[in-house]
Copies of this chain bind each other. A is one copy, B any other.
Amino acid sequence: MSLLAAMLNGEFVNVAAAVLHIQDRGFQYGDGVFETMRLQGGRIRLLDDHWQRLNEGCVRLRLPAPDRDQWRADLSRLIHGHEDGVVKFVLTRGLSERGYRPIEAPATHVWQLGSVPPPRNEPGIVLRWCATRLSRNPLLAGIKHCNRLEQVIAQSEWNDAAIAEGLMLDTEGELVSGTMSNVFLLIEGIWVTPDLRYSGVAGVMRRAVLGLMAVLGMQCESRAVHPEEVSQASEAFVCNAVRGIQPVVALAEQQWPIGAQTLSLMNEWSRTE
């Protein structure tokens, strides 16, 4: 996203001059968490879910959680006068000298407002398998922390703009997610999605989808998923907070039409806008 506005620790800054000291622990160790949110029609979609995951990350990493009212106020100031965009919030453990040990320091809060990525030409997207594996660690699973080398390396595997996303396995060979999305497969009439107990980010859109499925009376299991199961799927989609639900039409040799249940979910999601 090109940056439209930025705010550091509660103060608007010129986007070109939005800088942090090299001793910020976000820079030193990726010692922080972030959220990427969709601004649509002047409001943030799934705001409460973003807030909740942010706080779960703070608890897990022993980071100081933001004050809720202040956080909401900063966000309101950031998006004031904007209808659509992508908002990124980063919280780091603040400044410290060299050394892993966390010291008591004010957290760094960075807000960024950017433009919405251009929509894709086709409604359905093409995926690939990534060779890069995700490590397993329940400590870090589910939360959106700033240690993202595995996703970076995975995305460096391909350069073909026709491929929108890559699916990743963990080091034990279980399916986890896309590099920047969660994945759902319809297998014998039941939706299946990886349970993320060891790896991956528990997307706020994933959570919203589980809610939509309940509303629409679709069954869904969150469980360990093996990559061979993809071949049994009659529908597949990926989802994230920025792009919502994206039907998958191809992965390696496999092809799918855009399925009826996926369309129902997309319709239900746009109905709630």
Contacts and interface: CB of A to CB of B under 8 A. Distances in A.
Interface of A: 1-3, 6, 8, 18-31, 34, 36, 61-62, 86, 88, 90, 92-93, 97-102, 110, 112, 114, 132-140, 145-156, 171, 179-180
A26 B23 contact: no
A160 to B, nearest CB: 12
Contacts of A24: 27
Contacts of A90: 22, 27-28
Copies of this chain, whole number:
2
A148 B100 contact: yes
21 contacts: A1-B99, A2-B97, A18-B21, A18-B23, A19-B22, A20-B22, A20-B27, A24-B27, A27-B27, A27-B90, A28-B148, A29-B147, A30-B146, A97-B114, A98-B114, A100-B151, A100-B180, A101-B156, A102-B156, A138-B171, A147-B148
Nearest to A117: B99
Given A22-B110, A22-B112, A30-B29, A153 B135 contact: no
A266 to B, nearest CB: 23
Contacts of A31: 148-149, 152
A156 B180 CA distance: 29
Nearest to A180: B100
A29 B135 contact: no
Contacts of A19: 19-22
Given A18-B21, A30-B149, A98-B112, 8 more contacts: A1-B99, A19-B21, A20-B22, A27-B92, A62-B156, A88-B98, A99-B180, A100-B180
A36 B29 CA distance: 13
Contacts of A88: 98
A154 B62 CA distance: 11
A19 B34 CA distance: 20
A97 B101 CA distance: 30
B102 A29 contact: no
A35 to B, nearest CB: 12
A2 B114 CA distance: 36
A28 B30 CA distance: 7
